[in-house]
Every structure is written in structure tokens, then in C-alpha cells.
Amino acid sequence: MEKKIKIVTVVGTRPNFIKIAPLIEEMRKSQRIKPILVHTGQHYDYEMSKIFFDELKIPEPDYNLGVGSGSHAWQTAKIMEKLEKVLLKENPNLVIVVGDVNSTLAGALTAAKLNFPIAHIEAGMRSYDKTMPEEINRLLTDHISDALFVTSHLDTQNLLKEGIDQREIFLVGNIMTDVLMEQKKKVSNSILKKLGLQKKKYALLTLHRAGNVDNKENLKEILSAIKKISERIPVIFPVHPRAKKMINFFGFKRLIKEIPNLFLIKPLSYFQMTSLVKNSKLVLTDSGGLQHETTVLGVPCLTLRNVTEWLITVKQGTNKVVGTSKENIIKEAFKILGSKNRSFLEKRKIPQYWDGKTAKRIIQILLKYYVRH
């Protein structure tokens, strides 16, 4: 009997859990592959972690490193220290990392030091803002990876400009779309009923990035803009633990209470969040994931940052980067609320290969070109 190919996949955060769900499913279908799942524990809160595994039917991780929270340097080093033991024990044919978080870089660095081939999913994305830790993670991971799987032709261009060999770059589409295509059929609207919401009669807000929630001025500008927007439409705000902590730290609880049409709720499961996004009139966010989910679902999205790595969603999708200025956020939100969203939706075009088959393409390419026997 032919020996199975051993592929270690390293994940650590909620977006990564979603991304690897279709990938693990495809690997389990293959008789040639033995998948090994490593959860670094970078995100460890139950409501924001384990429920994603349950809903998306991701198998229990073979290893949970249990690293938890800490500074970027500490967290990356701790993951590397613990992951090295796992890789030495398993001796995989390939290591897969996804996205741009500390677990991504730590996984790639550990594999590179041990001379294991690396595949990076969501390679080539650039915001060109090196103050963002995610940008550093993307850059370094791409330049030590062997197979670079990109979501759009814009990401391919970024890599070619940086001198990466065309033969190492594969346009496969957006793996998050695999999940969205599959799960949106199953998503119920029970969360709307629970929250007393009507379709297209509310806006959705998410905040979690350090540049916003750790910056007192930026956070105040955003919340002040939301106060004005909420006079026109209710705003639902699933509060990320980091945002909650910093709202309390900066003494903004009073400001929040002065926004009567802002409704703070606990973090949601993937199904619940997808339902809220799909049925909203408008999404305001600093999340990368919501920028491309709104593009697929046809929902106007205002990105509360000055740059985005998801440039394809601006050029082809329903996304607009508006920064953190109170005046600009209000102006752009009112444009949407005062129209039928035609300016956003008429230009919408689903990017190439965002068709729900990205995981299949990745596995086919890996088996053909990159697995060392």
C-alpha cells in the first residue's frame, strides 16, 4: 500500500479556521493525503473559537499548542518553540499556512528552518502599510514559501514586482468563498428574529484592529460617526474582546450610552454573522474577511482604514476604503443610506475563481507539483 502524504496545516485564529474548513475536507477525501491539523491557540476564547470548529465541521486539531495571548514577538516565538517539536515528530511532506496572522509567520518560519516545503494560502496581498503587523507577516511568509496561492491577479502582480518566480505563483481564487457558497444555503435568519431586525433595515459594525481600537483618537472618531449614522438606521455591533477592553480603557462607555440606536451584542458564530451581513443595508468594518464577504453577497461595505490588502474588492466588489475621519465616514454612509446602493452594486463583479472550488484547485496543484515523497 502506498504511503500517505503527510500535510501539516497550521491555524490559530477565527478567519483561519474558516479558510481551512474546505481544505481539510478536500484532503480527507483524498486517499493519498494524511492531514494533520495544528491549532496554535492564538485565539482561545470559546465563543470566538471552538464554535467555529463545530459549525464548520472542522475535525478536532491533532495538536493544540495552547499559546494564548501575548505581544507579537512573544506569541510568534512561543508558537515556533512548540511547533518545532510537532514538525520534528511528524516529519511532514508539506506545511500549509494561511492568511497573515502571527500563527502564519510562525508556522512558515519554523517549517523553513527545518527545510520543510511551505504553501501559503492568500499570498501576495499587500496594503503597503508596514505599521500593520499583518503586512510584515505577509511579506516574510511569501518570501520563504515554495507555493504561493493567490486570490486575485492583483496579488500575482504584487509578487512578481517583488521578484518571486512566476512558476511558484498560482491563481486559485478566494478560499473563504468556498465556505460562503456552501454555508449560505444553510444559514437561517433566526438571529434577525432574535434581535428584532428587518432585512436591509440596519447597519452592521465590526472593529478589532489595533490601529482603530488601540488608538483613542481613531476610536472616538469612528464612534462619533456611528452616533450620527445611528440617527438614520439602527447599528448592530458584535463587540470583539479587544474592542470591549479598549472602550472601557479609554472611558468611552458614556459615549456608547449616548448612541441610543447602537446595539452592542456578544461575538457571533459564523452562521449568525453571515446572516447579519447578508441581510444588512450597510457594513462598516476594519475586517479583511468582511470586505470580501460583502463583495460576494452584494452588500455595500465601508472599510474603516486608510488602506486595504483586499484591493480587488474595491476595484471589482462593493467595498470602499473611507479611513477613520468622522466626517468622511458619515458622508459615505449617508450616500448609501440615501440611495438604492446603485453606485456600489452596478460595478460589482465577482473576481475570477471566487466560485467555491478554490480548495479543490489547491489540492490538485499541491499533489502535482509540491509534495516531496
Helix/strand/coil for 204: strand
Cell, residue 155 = 496579488
Single-letter residue type at 218:
N
Q: What are phi and psi of 294, to 5 degrees?
A: -65, -35
Residues in the chain: 373
- The residue from 39, 72, 208, 292 that is catalytic is 208
How many Å apart are CA 96 and CA 75, to the nearest integer?
19
Helix/strand/coil for 169: strand
Cell, residue 270 = 459564523
DSSP 8-state assignment for residue 200: T
How many Å apart are CA 49 and CA 51, to the nearest integer?
6
CA–chain centroid gap for 162, Å, is: 24
Strand order in the sheet with 118-121: 63-64, 33-39, 5-11, 94-98, 118-121, 147-150, 169-171
146: left (phi over 0), alpha (psi -120 to 50) or beta: alpha
Cell, residue 61 = 486539531
Q: Is 208 a catalytic residue?
A: yes
**Cβ(344)–Cβ(183) below 8 Å:** no
Among all residues, which ones are annotated catalytic?
Answer: 208
